Amino acid sequence: MALIVQKYGGTSVGDLDCIRNVAQRVVSSAAVGNQVAVVVSAMAGETDQLVSWAREIGGEQPDPREVDMLVSTGEQKTIALLALAIRQLGHSARSFTGGQMGIRTDTAHTRARIASVDAERLQAVLDRGTVAVLAGFQGIDDEGNITTLGRGGSDTSAVAVAAALGADICEIYTDVEGVYTSDPRVVPRARKLDRISYDEMIEMASLGAKVLQIRSVRFAMRHGVPLHVRSSFIPDEGTWVVPEEGVMEGLFVSGVTYNRDEAKIRLRGVKDHPGIAARIFAPLSEAEIVVDMIIQNLSQDGTTDITFTVARDDYRRALAIVEAECAAIGAAGVDGDQSIAKVSIVGLGMKDHAGVASRMFQVLAEHGVNIQLISTSEIKVSVVIEESHTESAVRALHAAFLEAGADEPRSEA
Ligand code: ADP
Ligand code: ASP
Ligand code: MG
């Protein structure tokens, strides 16, 4: 007998037939004696709809407490429907909201962090042989306010519940068969990975592979929760997310990702002297705007250009803040561009192989893709390009690094 946490994403519970399919899967796992806690998302498209209603009625920046009150209702529907479907199959099941299951978070509405889960209460339900159906994405703060965990947050709910219960495994059921070398919807030749390390998965998630929310992978790594990403529609094994030692494939590049959710801001003719960067970025950080890439050009005649990227949702606010600082720092002007995309290659093997970045730039050049910004780390290289080139760039890089006939990397050893 095992203790299993299963999480089903939006498309897996997209309509009543899908919910019945999920109920079957849950019951077949419980029927062989496993204890099963199920975490579910809202029906596909529901959270988007609720977010857009909040904006329509509450303005560009609707009150975050009320937004959480609203968007958390999506999950409340699906837990009740799934519990009913499981009961129809003759198995006992009970649904619980985040608050009812003691999923405590901090007070940061719309991006709250989980502090604790009431594992005793949950275990007591499971010990009675009942399937616990839990609302993903939501929690409750110390004052009883409903909070949500950021888009894609049900993955993190599932991992937190698995960690609190000491579950044997956390299964993430979704609409693709696992983690692929690139988004299978963009790259038809992408292939499923049998295993991927936590570190690579964290990098892939942070660079746009939305199959897992980045926080869920960090949480799983910290608590040693084994993650199995798999399809809710077919029974085959999916992808195991495991510690580095467990990854045997030895790919030097394991994934190509893209992110269309960023925007670029450029300050022109900024004076090149100490304190200027602090002056630009301090008010952005006070406004809790996360800056991703930053590049400063070589200075000419004592002035320079500084370009940086932020999430597209923060673009207007960031632009207004920087425009307000512009005069004070003596910059010649500010401009921005929202039609950009960040395309990245990720792989543990890059640590030991030279020439990966230059090969990437060469491939993009051969496809006529202009590079606007570059950033690198030990296991990734990212470039910002014009958004309309996203798909062709991702496919070209996948062909160059991950398909038959791909170049052998030069080893440093
Ligand atoms: P869910 O609703 O189940 O949480 P998501 O839409 O959040 O599902 O995540 C699954 C989607 O992630 C897939 O449909 C796929 O298009 C996308 N995706 C992006 N990159 C990858 C990748 N490298 N591997 C698998 N899926 C990916
Ligand atoms: N329903 C939420 C969202 O769409 C949470 C999730 O699906 O993980 O972001
Ligand atoms: Mg998701």
- Give the CATH number, domain containing residue 64: 3.40.1160.10
Domain-embedded: residue 355: no
Distance 213 CA to ligand 3 centre (A): 7
What's the confidence (pLDDT) of residue 348?
Answer: 82
Which residue's CA is the nearest one to ligand 1's atom 15? 183
Percent of the chain at pLDDT > 90 equals: 83
Minimal-distance CA residue to ligand 2 atom 6: 152
Most ligand 2 atoms within 8 A of CB, residue of 151, 215, 216, 261 to mutate: 151
Q: Which atom of ligand 2 is nearest to the CA of 155?
A: 8
* Higher-pLDDT residue of 237, 405: 237
Residue 250: pLDDT band by 50, 70, 90 thresholds?
Answer: low
Provide, rounded to the nearest whole percent, the portion of the chain with pLDDT above 70: 97
What is the pLDDT, as a whole number, of residue 412?
A: 40
Kindly state whether residue 251 falls inside one of the protein's structural domains.
no
Confidence of residue 333 (pLDDT cuts 50, 70, 90): very high
> Residue 294 to residues 241, 307, 377, 390: CA-CA distances in angstroms?
31, 6, 14, 20
pLDDT above 60 (res 248): no
Q: Which domain holds residue 40?
A: 3-175
pLDDT of residue 246: 67
Q: Is the dihedral of CA 27, 73, 225, 343 positive or negative?
A: positive
β-strands 93-96, 131-135 pairing: parallel
CA 55–ligand 3 middle distance (angstroms): 22
pLDDT tens for residues 88-112?
Answer: 999 999 999 999 999 999 999 999 9
The residue to mutate among 137, 147, 313, having the most atoms of ligand 2 within 8 angstroms of its beta carbon, is 137
> What does the pLDDT average to over 109-132?
97
Residue 201 has, within 13 A of its CA and on its CB side, a CA count of: 31
The whole-number average pLDDT for the span 11-16 is 98
Distances (CA, A) of 307 to 83, 264, 332, 370, 396: 50, 7, 14, 16, 26
Q: What's the rounded Cα separation, in Å, for the pair 110 and 194?
A: 33
Pick the ligand that lies closest to the CA of residue 175. Answer: 1
In the predicted model, what is the mean pLDDT of the chain?
93
**Is the pLDDT reported for residue 404 higher than 90?**
no
- Is residue 365 included in any domain, yes or no? no
Q: Point out the ligand nearest to the CA of residue 8.
A: 1
Q: What is the pLDDT of residues 345-366, one digit of tens each?
A: 998 888 777 788 999 999 999 9
Atom of ligand 1 nearest to the CA of 155: 4
Residues with CB under 6 A from ligand 2: 9-10, 41-42, 47, 74, 136-137, 151-155
Provide the pLDDT for residue 409. Answer: 52
In a domain, 124, yes or no: yes
> Number of folded domains in the chain?
1
Expressed in angstroms and rounded, the spacing between residue 274 Cα and the centre of ligand 3 is 43
When comparing pLDDT for 407 and 314, which is higher?
A: 314
Ligand 1 centroid from CA 195, angstroms: 16
Assigned domain for 92 exists:
yes
Please write the tens of the pLDDT for every residue from 128-167. 999 999 999 999 999 999 999 999 999 999 999 999 999 9
275 within domain boundaries: no
User: Atom 9, ligand 2: which residue's CA is nearest?
Assistant: 151
Predicted confidence band of residue 408 (pLDDT cuts 50, 70, 90):
low
Atom 10, ligand 1: residue with shortest CA distance? 211
Res 410: pLDDT:
45
d(CA 173, CA 18) in angstroms, rounded, equals 12
Mean pLDDT of 65-80: 98
Choice among 139-153, 268-282, 385-399 with the minimum mean pLDDT: 268-282
Which residue minimizes the CA distance to atom 9 of ligand 1?
211
Residue 411 has pLDDT above 70, yes or no: no
Q: Is residue 171 part of a domain?
A: yes
CA 359 / ligand 3 centre spacing (Å): 32
Between 150 and 248, the more confident residue is: 150
pLDDT (mean) for 308-332: 91
